[in-house]
Structure 1
Amino acid sequence: MAGLLDSIYYKDLQYSKSVYGDRAFYSLRSVSRNRLDLEIPGTGIFLSLNPDASDTVISSFPITVEYEWPILVYVISIYNQIPIFENTFKAVIPIANQPSEYN
């Protein structure tokens, strides 16, 4: 598995997160060091998988992730109003991978 991941890179990372961390958008291109080609058996013809437009010796695959968790807005507002939730909330934030300004 480690050998497979050693040859995978990324480029064009773009992301945005809302102020409360309840919404986020991530976009990037996963890039292989060498272009991925498949030969059609017996023909000598190769099919290139997602050749990159700017660099023809690599293959790149677009990846986009978007999420919206409206419950986080309520959790944060409850946390700000009731101090008893402070320890629980501080334990949940790292698990949910939210911004550190709420810790």
Structure 2
Amino acid sequence: MLSEILETLKNHQGEELNDVHDKVHDKVHDKVHDKYPDVSDSAWKVLDYLAENTCASAIMAAEALGMSERMVRKHIATLKSAGILSRMGSNKNGKWVVGLA
């Protein structure tokens, strides 16, 4: 996948950095979503939130995303079972770790 990203960057040399970033992001985003078809769009939103807020709780994610806590916990369980999300440390002091398998 990294070689494809490098090739995309080479093909778009001279373009504005933000344009290149958007194109690469979209390409990676599509490949990741294709690899995990059982993960819903809502779960990806939870993942994005937890990737940016690694110390957040399910309650905090639910409030920020406008979802119920139960739904956020369900999405977290889906992401964990897919090997996309894990928790390092305790529930109280730990952090979320995003790692695509």
Normalised to the residue count of structure 2, the TM-score between the two structures is: 0.25
Kindly name which structure, 1 or 2, has the bigger radius of gyration based on alpha carbons: 1
Normalised to the residue count of structure 1, the TM-score between the two structures is: 0.24
- Which of the pair is proportionally richer in helix? 2
- Which of the pair is proportionally richer in strand? 1
